[in-house]
Amino acid sequence: MAEAIATVCPYCGVGCGLKVRPGVTVEVKPDPTHPANLGRVCSKGAALGETLGESDRLLQPEIGGVPVAWDAALDEVACRLRSVIDAHGPQAVAFYVSGQLLTEDYYVVNKLMKGCLGAANIDTNSRLCMSSAVAAYKRALGEDAVPCSYRDIEEADLLVLAGSNAAWTHPVLYQRIVAEKQRRPALRVVVVDPRRTATCDIADLHLALRPGTDAWLFNGLLSYLAREGGLDQGFVETHTQGFEAALEAARGAAPSIPAVAAACELPAAQVAEFFRLFLRTEKTVTLWSQGLNQSSSGVDKGAALINCHLATGRIGRPGMGPFSLTGQPNAMGGREVGGLANQLAAHMDIEDDEARERVARFWGVPTVADTPGLKAVDLFEAVADGRVKAVWIMATNPVVSMPDADRVRAALQACEHVIVSDCVRGSDTVACADVLLPAATWGEKDGTVTNSERRISRMRAFMPPPGDARPDWWIVTEVARRMGYGDVFPYRSPADIFREHAALSGFENEGRRVFDIGALKDIDDAHYDVLAPLQWPVNAAHPQGGARLFADGCFPTADGRARLMPVTPRAPVVVAGDEYPLVMNTGRIRDQWHTMTRTARTPRLTTHLPEPFVQIHPLDADLWHLSDGALAQVTSPQGSLLARVRLDAAQRPGAVFVPMHWNEAYARNARANALTAAITDPISGQPEFKHAPVRVAPFRPVWEGFLLTREPLSAPLGDYRVHIPSRGFHRYELAGESSPGDWGQWVQAHLLGPGEWMEYADPAAGRYRCARLRDGRLELVFFVAPAGLPERSWLGQMFAEDFLDDMARMSLLAGRPVTGMRVVGRQVCACFNVGLNTLVEAIGEQGLTSVEAIGAALQAGTNCGSCVPELREILAQARRSA
């Protein structure tokens, strides 16, 4: 058996270590020695082995849809960039990159733009993700430096999770919190989120505040702490500046508990309880994420939260601190290399003359770009109006993930030079490319990433890239050489780049920049290969890395003091009104990663929540005539989408939730960002993804249907059309506003295939069913009706059978399972594929009353634990109905 290779997970910013055993089937296990996860893994990480493989991979470079050799493609890219710069100047070229690049990829692409091409028009999808937190940290602490470690979370007595659904988005970190709370029930957990999410499963207090009002809450907390003698006067006086102004602003906006309760639409008692807990608990870590960042006042929300930590001196000590959770695996690495348009490299500022001169000297280039480049939203706006004439997109899918995404797509379609480096063929952005460059991806590339707690880990290759795919650093280096920058792009390996990156971080640093891994600048290839995970800084003062920053109360500002920022809370820019009465919140689900290019490749991850949905409170559903499981159209001034209605009292009345994931590659008319507006925070440029006013109305198709088939469906069918890759077959959920008329004829034209056909048609009632078997094996089954289709999980189960007997065949068209067949139902546990029916039955029959008992009986919840909150919910429901 091949030896297991240590690497890291390519998904979220927890940065879990994995042990991978390559082979025909790739085995992925959590690494018990990696400090981020200590042997834990979540549903997405555990399923990684099943997401590999060549299907839908981009295997060759292409120009205008024609496959070409690398030489031709690289010459073409270099030539297009050069000719645009010659004709229109360097500002006419832009790069849009990603927190999923490895640090080495990221370093070279940033160097090429800012050091060689003469502009700073490189921005990254981290703009959509971390930029508000970056700006908040930088303003408060002097540098974009996360002060805490995961250990602090376990050492805290109070954890506040604000705008974070960690149970689904940082699952292993959440598991660590759950384990700690089990060990130490006195640990208090407060969740601040308008929705009751899976994360609330362990919350002692859930503040379901009015969307967008967090700044009132944290301002209110600051003024409360001042009133109640909760400040650390010594720390404030010695180590901070700006306290008076911050307090005055906080008092002005949120003078009392009733005022906060009114602004946030929360019961005053809940606000008081939260404030009391914070006041009394010195060891507090406040974690925040997109519920605060993705807002037109995201920087202020971060600042209001950090203010409370500075005012209480709760920073730089064990078990305390303001902790922004990074989303992508290398969001932090991107910040280190200065991947954002307004940064330089190694935490230096583009607007600092001395820093620019230093970096230019270090790189050996005449100058570096001296003005910040375009931020993501402005960058695509410049593509739209023709200022940017060539754009190179790397490891991100902006046609799905940018706000007002239809406009982004139109801009790319109209742009003459769209270069896309990606690893898949079928993404919405790849469809807009003029030049396509096949990138190597996880499992095939080597380099480093940095997680939320500043821990640098090696990502290691364990298999060769398929076809002609190449790592991003190589592609960028080759283009740079062809543009004439070979002397400053001498790299032969990621290790070469890492050494330069490390050296720059320590270059003329003298303790001024916290980001310093200078001690690694001479690491040789062999040591780079075996580099163990470690946290920056890594320098003379911290040769083994540092777990916590600012322990001495000194901050990297001119006077060494941290800054409290005055915050005047602002509501979202566009608020709900008559025409668009509901607020659409968007975000993530447990088993999908962003635009699904990887996670939708395995049925293990498509079954938990198989379709795009709009989650709505039952009261709103009544008001807008929506019923559970029916289809709805969600509309904003920007666009509309179709989704399945999910009634859920966990939702705040007035607010709906739509997942960000679905896109044209897997669904029609289901992109959340067709609806969001390109409204951004004035400082960070981060879009307001969480507060789009919309209306929701029933979508009344004339027919609904589903198709389960071994072969993918190529024919265009359905206004609502979702493709759900499933175990051994493809599932399509379909609905249309107009019917092809004779379904039998339609099937003959589009689904024909050899074998035995069975058909049932009732044209008058608009019902049609057919199935095809080959040698007794089910090949497809297709159901159409005006409404009211049968449950389908049992039909899916039939694809696992090698032979269907007469009874089974009859059941197919009858739309009812044969008596005695065990129907597992909707999947709950992704690891052991345990369905809802199985769970409900076992709970009833075996009298199971706890998650542990379920685990013992069915294994559900015993591997990654991601479904535990849902298991608890199912138990509660069973109790209620009993």
Q: Tell me which of 47, 162, 172, 374 binds ligand SF4, using CB under 6 A.
A: 172
CB of 277 or CB of 812, closer to ligand MGD? 277
CA 6 to chain centre: 24
* Token code pair at residue 224: 């409360």
710 in the Ramachandran plot: left (φ > 0), alpha (ψ -120 to 50) or beta? alpha
Q: Should residue 494 be labelled a site residue for Mo ion when binding is judged by CB under 5 A?
A: no
| Alpha-carbon Rg for the chain in angstroms | 27
* Token code pair at residue 201: 């499963």
Minimum Å gap between C-beta 192 and ligand SF4 is: 21
CB of 477 or CB of 673, closer to ligand MGD? 673
The pattern of x and - marking residues 322 through 361 that bind ligand MGD according to CB under 6 A reads -----xx---------------------------------
Size of the site for ligand SF4 (CB under 6 A): 14
Minimum Å gap between C-beta 590 and ligand SF4 is: 10
Q: Should residue 449 be labelled a site residue for Mo ion when binding is judged by CB under 5 A?
A: no
Minimum Å gap between C-beta 376 and ligand MGD is: 9
For the segment 191-250, give every residue that binds ligand SF4 (CB under 6 A): none
Minimum Å gap between C-beta 442 and ligand MGD is: 6
Say if CB 143 and CB 558 are below 8 A apart.
Answer: no
Q: Tell me which of 327, 518, 556, 654 binds Mo ion, using CB under 5 A.
A: 327
SS3 assignment, position 620:
helix
Q: Using CB under 6 A, which of the segments 4-12, 231-239, 627-635, 834-842 binds ligand SF4?
A: 4-12
SS3 assignment, position 661:
coil
Q: Should residue 865 be labelled a site residue for ligand SF4 when binding is judged by CB under 6 A?
A: no
CB of 556 or CB of 687, closer to Mo ion? 687
* Token code pair at residue 514: 């916290």
The pattern of x and - marking residues 18 through 57 that bind ligand SF4 according to CB under 6 A reads -------------------x---xx-xx------------
> What is the spatial distance between Cα 168 and Cα 166, in angstroms, rounded to a whole number?
5
In this structure, what DSSP letter does residue 49 have? G
Say if CB 867 and CB 860 are below 8 A apart.
Answer: yes
* Token code pair at residue 196: 């009751």
Size of the site for Mo ion (CB under 5 A): 2
Q: Tell me which of 6, 9, 614, 773 binds ligand SF4, using CB under 6 A.
A: 9
CB of 672 or CB of 843, closer to ligand MGD? 672
**Alpha-helical regions (H) of 57-102:** 70-88
Q: Using CB under 5 A, which of the segments 103-111, 121-129, 147-155, 732-740 binds Mo ion?
A: 121-129
- For 176, half-sphere exposure in the C-beta direction (CA atoms, 13 angstrom radius) is 22
Q: Using CB under 6 A, which of the segments 147-155, 157-165, 556-564, 799-807 binds ligand MGD?
A: 157-165
- For 137, half-sphere exposure in the C-beta direction (CA atoms, 13 angstrom radius) is 26
- Nearest residue to 283 (alpha-carbon basis) of 472, 132, 418, 154: 154
- Nearest residue to 21 (alpha-carbon basis) of 57, 54, 48, 53: 48
CB of 115 or CB of 327, closer to ligand MGD? 327
Q: Should residue 211 be labelled a site residue for ligand MGD when binding is judged by CB under 6 A?
A: yes
Residue 614 host element (H or E):
strand 613-616
Judged by beta carbon distances under 5 to 8 A according to partner kind, the member of ligand SF4, ligand MGD, Mo ion, none in contact with residue 14 is: ligand SF4
Q: Should residue 705 be labelled a site residue for Mo ion when binding is judged by CB under 5 A?
A: no
Q: In DSSP terms, which residues pair with 457 in a beta bridge?
A: 449
Q: Which residues contact 578 (CB under 8 A, 6 or more apart)?
A: none
Q: Should residue 616 be labelled a site residue for ligand SF4 when binding is judged by CB under 6 A?
A: no
Query: 631-635 and 640-647 as β-strands: parallel, antiparallel, unpaired?
Result: antiparallel
Q: Should residue 588 be labelled a site residue for ligand MGD when binding is judged by CB under 6 A?
A: yes
CB of 216 or CB of 593, closer to ligand SF4? 593
Residue 139 host element (H or E):
helix 131-141
- Give the torsion sign (CA, 584, 586, 589, 594): positive
Cis before 725 (ω within 30): no
Judged by beta carbon distances under 5 to 8 A according to partner kind, the member of ligand MGD, ligand SF4, Mo ion, none in contact with residue 689 is: ligand MGD
Q: Should residue 663 be labelled a site residue for ligand MGD when binding is judged by CB under 6 A?
A: no
What's phi and psi for 845, nearest 5 deg?
Answer: -75, -40
Q: Using CB under 6 A, which of the segments 240-248, 307-315, 398-406, 481-489 binds ligand MGD?
A: 398-406
Minimum Å gap between C-beta 294 and Mo ion is: 9
Q: Which residues contact 581 (CB under 8 A, 6 or more apart)?
A: 654, 693, 695
Q: In DSSP terms, which residues pair with 646 in a beta bridge?
A: 615
* Token code pair at residue 278: 């914070």
> What is the spatial distance between Cα 653 and Cα 203, in angstroms, rounded to a whole number?
21
Q: In DSSP terms, which residues pair with 736 in a beta bridge?
A: 703
Q: Should residue 129 be labelled a site residue for Mo ion when binding is judged by CB under 5 A?
A: yes
For the segment 686-715, give every residue that binds ligand SF4 (CB under 6 A): none
Q: Tell me which of 142, 147, 171, 212 binds ligand SF4, using CB under 6 A.
A: 171
- Cβ burial of 796 (10 Å; 0-12, 13-18, 19+) is buried
The pattern of x and - marking residues 278 through 317 that bind Mo ion according to CB under 5 A reads ----------------------------------------
Say if CB 830 and CB 602 are below 8 A apart.
Answer: no
Q: Tell me which of 224, 593, 720, 732 binds ligand MGD, using CB under 6 A.
A: 593
Say if CB 261 and CB 208 are below 8 A apart.
Answer: no
CB of 99 or CB of 447, closer to Mo ion? 99
Q: Should residue 129 be labelled a site residue for ligand SF4 when binding is judged by CB under 6 A?
A: no
Q: Should residue 404 be labelled a site residue for ligand MGD when binding is judged by CB under 6 A?
A: no
Q: Should residue 868 be labelled a site residue for ligand SF4 when binding is judged by CB under 6 A?
A: no
Residue with tokens 């635009």: 595
Q: Which residues bind ligand MGD (CB under 6 A)?
A: 12, 98, 100, 125, 128-129, 162-166, 168-169, 192-195, 197, 211-212, 214, 289-292, 294, 327-328, 394-398, 400-401, 421-424, 427, 439, 441, 445, 472, 585-588, 590, 592-595, 597, 660, 672-673, 676, 689-690
Kindly list the residues in this chain that would bind Mo ion in the complex (CB under 5 A).
129, 327
**Contact residues for ligand SF4, defined by CB under 6 A:** 9, 11-12, 14-16, 37, 41-42, 44-45, 170-172
